[in-house]
Chain A
Amino acid sequence: MLRKKNLSELVQQLRSNENVINWHEVEPIEAKTNPIPESVDARIKAALAKRGILQLYSHQHTAFETIRKGENVVAVTPTASGKTLCYNLPVLQTIAEDDASRALYLFPTKALAQDQKSDLNEIIEEMGIDIKSFTYDGDTSPAIRQIVKNVGHIVITNPDMLHSAILPHHTKWVSLFSNLKYIVIDELHTYRGVFGSHVANVIRRLQRICKFYGSNPLFICTSATIANPRELAEQLTGKPMRLIDDNGAPRGRKHFVFYNPPIVNKPLNLRKSATVEVNQLAREFLANKVQTIVFARSRVRVELILSHLQELVKNELGTKSIRGYRGGYLPNQRREIERGLRNGDILGVVSTNALELGVDIGQLQVCIMSGYPGSVASTWQQAGRAGRRHGEALVVMVASNTPIDQYVVQNPEYFFERSPESARINPENLLILVDHMRCAAYELPFKKGEEFGPMEIVDILDILEYLVEERVLTQAGDTFYWANQSFPANDVSLRSAAQENVVIIDQSDVANVKIIGEMDRFSAMTLLHDEAIYLHEGVQFQVEKLDWEHKKAYVREVDVEYYTDANLAVKLKVLSIDRTVARGTTSINQGDAAVNVMATMFKKIRLSSFENIGYGPIKLPEEELHTSATWIEVKEVDPTIQTKTLEQLLMGISNVIRHIVPIHVMCDRNDIHVVSQIRAEHSQLPTIFIYDHYPGGIGLAEDVFKRFDEIKSAAINLVRRCPCEDGCPSCIGTEIEGIGAKKQSIQLMEAL
């Protein structure tokens, strides 16, 4: 039998692998610690000592001191640097000093809240102080709810529950709101885009209610590494924040490797499947008993990789030592896996980004990512799972065929030199704001002159008067009162992109019809029309009927060799131009636009060869969206380029921009749309539009406007570095006729 190789040997072996296209080393760092402050209660000190904590890392120490001075803080901490102590220590200390004190913890998901509770309760038990911490969510039993409301010192919940259950019934929470000392917002970076914009408004409502009960809590936020943690925290809470980023946790040497699978089809520039490569790599580590985590993009992918790995290493290891981890597993099953990872019983885990968030699984030696996780911040979070405090660690990112992946692995400087993305929110989006002002008015009447976020008083008044006209509020004297039969929080969901979603109903099993998902209206037009092939977690479904009126799509599982691609006729009308920058032969503009969208027909395309093997009509009404947009006009065109060619070039460039933008403004791919027009309606000029895919906009297009040069050069880079001959699906697409499409695209882009 062969001797097992250790990690160093495996790392050496990987260095000679020809598919490795970039090797980056992160140097080790020593721990920076401070003694636990004198002021900390002896019982807390003893409990920490029991867990082997005799010193605080510098950031934990700073957090404690800053919070105790009465400042709001946002602590930026990489994975596994002991961030929970940043808030637990001041909170527990305050309650130990005054039993009446209360704290509210917000976590983005129920699972994280429950993790936190078990962790917190362990410390509390060791402290021997009677501090009650509870989770409050949809699973909390009615019997316990009463206790949580009256005597819970620490209430752990999520924004959705706060929005729809706690705030509208704040009179049941008098003891919490009257004595609230701290509001903890963990995983701050997850509150971005539409969701973050909603949550910012929920927090405004929370603050109104605290004020009513006479409390003025401090905010303690923790965030993964993003470019603008302080800005985001200040925007979310409306309070000045002290940034704490003096991470003092130690770190061993880390190798960060980009791995690009070999090309198997030259003309199409198709590479070997990332999944297969991931399986091979992971097998090597696991067979040598090196603890490894594999990240995959979807739940189905997790299961696929898991079953392969279990098969590959079944002779060396039992299947029990390699586990999957994703949403949908039962809580105690997940706890068991986390424990197994911490104590080493489990050698390998295949996970979705569920393990990216704060769950404690200890530190593993190797992390393999199947594909680029979608953002720099997310990549660093996943990479953080490998890296013991002492000793080496290895992170391998295996690129898939998508343009984003290819761009990232071929431009390592983009990834390593660039600071992570900014998280953007726009709590002043009129639709979101008005929705939450309704909810706020339901909770407490609005006084004239009262503030709500950074809005001008006259604008607030404007909205209140609008709501009076709508007969939602009534005004008496200088106060606006709720005067409607509805319960407004029910009509506002924090997480859905558009207000009205299409529900996807799987009727494969007649006896067991079930809802498998939902999709916003605009996407549904092209993805859920009659006869569309809809992919859900890797399974193919055919849409049997799209009931547009009732917003329901009935699907049935199928197994076919094609996918569908819908044509969308998009009309764009510029409503207002807010900003214009002329740049030589082009100009960039930013303003409001009306987007009219109509799905016209769809094509059936064979999966293996991308041939067109059929088509059909789509009969759906036109949809209209008013949003904010950024557009680039080409005012002078090289006369040698024919119109037809120009049209195709613009389409190709749009394709590239569509992939690049989400990386640069940190949003989901569906949040932003890119459309090119050879003759824009308002100017008759060739134009590329980039617009927010949410009514009213959430600030993405504005961001694109500000950072256009950055995006432009990234786009040029992507096309230039793509190894294809003259356009492929990974860059400008394949539909451009004539030689030199890539060169022409680059020239055109450089002129933008």
Chain B
Amino acid sequence: MSGLRDKLLRMRSSAAAQAERLAGMVTAEENGETAAQGESADVADAAAANAANAANANANANTFDGLDQAASSDSGSVESANGLSSEWEELNVRLVESTEGSFLVRESRYPVMHRHGIHQLGELADVQQHLDVFRKPEQSQMDYSNLLFLDLETTGLGVGTGNVPFMVGLAYLQDDVFVVEQMLIRHPAEERAMIGYLCNLLPSFTHLVTYNGRTFDWPVLHNRFILNGFRNFKWEPIHVDLLHPSRSIWRNTLVSCKLSHVEEERLGITREDDVPGSLAPAIYFQFLADSNPKPLLGVFQHNEIDMLSLAALAIRFGHLLGGGLGEQVAIPIEAEELLRTGLWLERMGKTELAEPLYTLLEDHPRISPKCLCMLAERDKKCGNWERAVLLWQKAVQDAEAANWPDYEAHIELAMYYEHRTKALHMALTLAEEAHSIALRRHTVLRSAQNKRRTELELIRKRIDRLNSKLQKWNRLEHVE
């Protein structure tokens, strides 16, 4: 063994290997107790511990029959009644077994009265039917809703076949209890049993609620079904990926649309001593190496809060879709959030809920020209010219006072006057104003040469066309 190792290390600088080793480890600062152990143990020891862990796990799987376990233990650790060593006790997990093997489940039960941030979990029952709007056209309507929340903790990034979900967090309402059920595999060989269990569980739900699950959690799980021999498993729920509405609404209002940020800013949730999700893989790899489950508690807790926050966020969007804005959910203070909420509701087919928000915006004290134009654009599309013109005019007015004006509204208005009311003079004045603003902006902003040129050229063309139209017009008038 060491011969091979020496040869490899000789051939390439050992730096790369070192970096790789570190990538799989928790450093001392991150994890006091275990790291001390990890540091002192050299790599071979770690591997031995790992093998022991696996062997132990196998023994558990093969010989488990309840009471026998404590006696047969030779590692000196005390086995609890359910066949797990005492170290696991603090984690509050139980062993689940099937013909495919075993894995662990940690279950936490919350009464529906439980408040997570500003929302109560019980609100879920009131709003879940509103989430039906996420249904794809080809999906048939259900006469009941049964929501499943899902969040994975995986060993890496991306959706490649080597990225393993070592923890699968699920949550759902069961009678009057909100159940968070988290599965953990103690080594990759347990995955098959866990996936088999999931395949049995999933089909009883109608909705899948995730955060970025469309591009991450679900494709990763899909890989696992195939890799573990459940190639034909089929479940086609209504997938509610809450990242999408979050982005639609908070794209510019919040600095980040990460769940942990959204929950803090909008759901009144603060986490204490949270283990960041990005550390989860390293903690798991450390566990694989030293078999000490204690640090996994932090990952369980992090994932558990993610599940609760996911529910709270679903409640919020459910309220929005059910017309609860102003009642269960506070009306956004910032104009852009208000506007984007309206636009999102409209996209979800709730125009009647969006309209009152737009009305609020008309008199909003701090509405940016950009928002004015966005709303005007929306009005233009649905033929509400009257308000569109008002909004553009307001934006043009604001531009006069602004240090750093934009000219989008000028152009829109110019187009409106030229084509709809034939007020060519007005159109020309606006186009010229736009041109001078554009010139000013571009000399300061070093935007890309080409873009700048085409933009200016477009305005120039508009001015030329307006001028020639005006001349023709004048001639005609003259003739008459």
Residues in chain A within 8 A of chain B (CB atoms): 168-171, 174, 430-431, 434, 441-445, 462-463, 465-466, 468-472, 474-477, 479, 481-488, 499, 594, 626, 695-696
Which residue on chain B has the smallest CB distance to residue A439? Answer: B162
* Listed A/B pairs (14) with beta-carbon separation below 8 Å: A442-B160, A443-B162, A468-B50, A471-B43, A476-B57, A476-B189, A476-B190, A483-B164, A484-B155, A485-B24, A485-B156, A486-B156, A487-B156, A626-B10
Once bound together, how far apart are the Cα atoms of A487 and B188, in whole Å? 17
Contact yes or no, B162 A431, CB < 8 A: no
With A431-B8, A479-B189 already in contact, 10 other A-B pairs whose C-beta atoms are closer than 8 Å = A169-B160, A430-B4, A442-B160, A444-B161, A445-B188, A471-B46, A485-B23, A486-B23, A626-B11, A696-B11
Contact yes or no, A471 B285, CB < 8 A: yes
List chain A residues, Cβ under 8 A from B25.
Answer: 471
Chain A's nearest CB lies how many Å from the CB of B190? 8
Q: Does B226 sit within 8 A of A, measured CB to CB?
A: yes
List chain A residues, Cβ under 8 A from B162.
Answer: 168, 441-443, 482, 484, 487-488
List chain A residues, Cβ under 8 A from B11.
Answer: 430-431, 626, 695-696
Nearest first, the 7 closest Cβ-Cβ pairs linking A and B are A442-B162, A481-B188, A471-B24, A476-B189, A476-B187, A476-B54, A482-B162
Known contacts A168-B161, A476-B54: A469-B47 contact under CB 8 Å: yes
Interface of B (DSSP majority class): helix
Contact yes or no, B189 A442, CB < 8 A: no
List chain A residues, Cβ under 8 A from B44.
Answer: 469
Chain A's nearest CB lies how many Å from the CB of B345? 29
Which residue on chain A has the smallest CB distance to residue B189? Answer: A476
List chain B residues, Cβ under 8 A from A463.
Answer: 4
List chain B residues, Cβ under 8 A from A169.
Answer: 159-161
Partner of A466 from B1, B155, B156 at Cβ < 8 Å: B1
Residues in chain B within 8 A of chain A (CB atoms): 1, 4-5, 7-8, 10-12, 16-17, 20-21, 23-25, 43-44, 46-47, 50-51, 54, 57-58, 155-162, 164, 187-190, 222-223, 226-227, 231, 281-282, 285, 288-289
Chain A's nearest CB lies how many Å from the CB of B479? 53
Chain B's nearest CB lies how many Å from the CB of A456? 12
Partner of B160 from A168, A431, A471, A475 at Cβ < 8 Å: A168
Contact yes or no, B161 A430, CB < 8 A: no
List chain A residues, Cβ under 8 A from B161.
Answer: 168-171, 442-444
Once bound together, how far apart are the Cα atoms of A607 and B288, in whole Å? 63
Known contacts A168-B162, A483-B288, A485-B24: A474-B156 contact under CB 8 Å: no
Contact yes or no, B188 A483, CB < 8 A: yes
Contact yes or no, A475 B50, CB < 8 A: yes
Contact yes or no, B4 A476, CB < 8 A: no
Known contacts A169-B161, A171-B223, A463-B4: A476-B156 contact under CB 8 Å: no
Chain B's nearest CB lies how many Å from the CB of A475? 6
List chain B residues, Cβ under 8 A from A468.
Answer: 47, 50
Contact yes or no, B226 A174, CB < 8 A: yes
Contact yes or no, B12 A431, CB < 8 A: yes
Contact yes or no, A466 B227, CB < 8 A: no
List chain B residues, Cβ under 8 A from A479.
Answer: 188-189
Chain B's nearest CB lies how many Å from the CB of A485? 4
List chain A residues, Cβ under 8 A from B4.
Answer: 430, 462-463, 466
List chain B residues, Cβ under 8 A from A474.
Answer: 50, 54, 187-188, 285, 288
Once bound together, how far apart are the Cα atoms of A288 and B226, in whole Å? 65
Once bound together, how far apart are the Cα atoms of A555 and B46, in whole Å? 48
Contact yes or no, B164 A481, CB < 8 A: yes
Chain B's nearest CB lies how many Å from the CB of A168? 4
Which residue on chain A has the smallest CB distance to residue B191? Answer: A481
Once bound together, how far apart are the Cα atoms of A280 and B405, in whole Å? 66
Chain A's nearest CB lies how many Å from the CB of B252? 26
Once bound together, how far apart are the Cα atoms of A483 and B288, in whole Å? 9
Once bound together, how far apart are the Cα atoms of A483 and B189, in whole Å? 12
List chain A residues, Cβ under 8 A from B222.
Answer: 171
Chain A's nearest CB lies how many Å from the CB of B22? 9
Which residue on chain B has the smallest CB distance to residue A459? Answer: B4
Contact yes or no, B231 A174, CB < 8 A: yes
Interface centre among B43, B46, B162, B227, by most chain A C-beta atoms within 10 angstroms, is B162
Once bound together, how far apart are the Cα atoms of A441 and B51, in whole Å? 18
Once bound together, how far apart are the Cα atoms of A434 and B9, in whole Å? 12
Which residue on chain B has the smallest CB distance to residue A167? Answer: B161
Interface centre among B4, B190, B222, B231, by most chain A C-beta atoms within 10 angstroms, is B4
Contact yes or no, A469 B43, CB < 8 A: yes
Chain B's nearest CB lies how many Å from the CB of A630? 18
Chain B's nearest CB lies how many Å from the CB of A699? 15
Contact yes or no, B51 A475, CB < 8 A: yes
Interface centre among A470, A483, A499, by most chain B C-beta atoms within 10 angstroms, is A483
Once bound together, how far apart are the Cα atoms of A482 and B189, in whole Å? 11
Contact yes or no, B54 A477, CB < 8 A: yes
Once bound together, how far apart are the Cα atoms of A465 and B157, in whole Å? 24
List chain B residues, Cβ under 8 A from A466.
Answer: 1, 4-5, 8
Chain A's nearest CB lies how many Å from the CB of B97? 16
Chain A's nearest CB lies how many Å from the CB of B96? 17
Known contacts A443-B162, A469-B43: A484-B227 contact under CB 8 Å: no
Which residue on chain B has the smallest CB distance to residue A178? Answer: B231
List chain A residues, Cβ under 8 A from B5.
Answer: 466, 469
Partner of B285 from A170, A477, A483 at Cβ < 8 Å: A483
List chain B residues, Cβ under 8 A from A168.
Answer: 160-162
Partner of B156 from A174, A477, A481, A484 at Cβ < 8 Å: A484
Interface centre among B8, B25, B155, B222, by most chain A C-beta atoms within 10 angstroms, is B8
Which residue on chain A has the smallest CB distance to residue B57? Answer: A476
Once bound together, how far apart are the Cα atoms of A171 and B218, in whole Å? 13
Which residue on chain B has the smallest CB distance to residue A442? Answer: B162
Chain A's nearest CB lies how many Å from the CB of B224? 9
Contact yes or no, B12 A484, CB < 8 A: no
Contact yes or no, B12 A171, CB < 8 A: no
Which residue on chain A has the smallest CB distance to residue B17? Answer: A470
Contact yes or no, A430 B7, CB < 8 A: yes
Which residue on chain A has the smallest CB distance to residue B160? Answer: A168
List chain B residues, Cβ under 8 A from A483.
Answer: 24, 155, 164, 188, 285, 288
Chain A's nearest CB lies how many Å from the CB of B159? 7
Once bound together, how far apart are the Cα atoms of A483 and B166, in whole Å? 10
Contact yes or no, B51 A471, CB < 8 A: no
Contact yes or no, A484 B160, CB < 8 A: no
Once bound together, how far apart are the Cα atoms of A555 and B23, in whole Å? 35
Contact yes or no, A484 B285, CB < 8 A: yes
List chain A residues, Cβ under 8 A from B223.
Answer: 171
Chain B's nearest CB lies how many Å from the CB of A7? 51
Known contacts A445-B188, A477-B54: A470-B20 contact under CB 8 Å: yes
Contact yes or no, A444 B227, CB < 8 A: yes
List chain B residues, Cβ under 8 A from A488.
Answer: 162
Partner of A486 from B12, B20, B159, B226 at Cβ < 8 Å: B20
Once bound together, how far apart are the Cα atoms of A681 and B37, in whole Å? 45
Chain B's nearest CB lies how many Å from the CB of A574? 14
Which residue on chain B has the smallest CB distance to residue A594? Answer: B10
Once bound together, how far apart are the Cα atoms of A441 and B162, in whole Å? 8
Contact yes or no, B188 A476, CB < 8 A: yes
Once bound together, how far apart are the Cα atoms of A695 and B24, in whole Å? 26
Contact yes or no, A482 B164, CB < 8 A: yes
Contact yes or no, A171 B1, CB < 8 A: no
Known contacts A171-B226, A471-B21, A479-B189: A485-B155 contact under CB 8 Å: yes
Once bound together, how far apart are the Cα atoms of A499 and B16, in whole Å? 11
Once bound together, how far apart are the Cα atoms of A548 and B448, in whole Å? 33
Once bound together, how far apart are the Cα atoms of A499 and B21, in whole Å? 19
Once bound together, how far apart are the Cα atoms of A474 and B54, in whole Å? 9
Once bound together, how far apart are the Cα atoms of A696 and B16, in whole Å? 16
Interface centre among A474, A487, A499, A696, by most chain B C-beta atoms within 10 angstroms, is A474
List chain A residues, Cβ under 8 A from B159.
Answer: 169
List chain B residues, Cβ under 8 A from A462.
Answer: 1, 4
Contact yes or no, A487 B160, CB < 8 A: yes
Which residue on chain A has the smallest CB distance to residue B25? Answer: A471
Which residue on chain A has the smallest CB distance to residue B225? Answer: A171
List chain A residues, Cβ under 8 A from B54.
Answer: 474-477
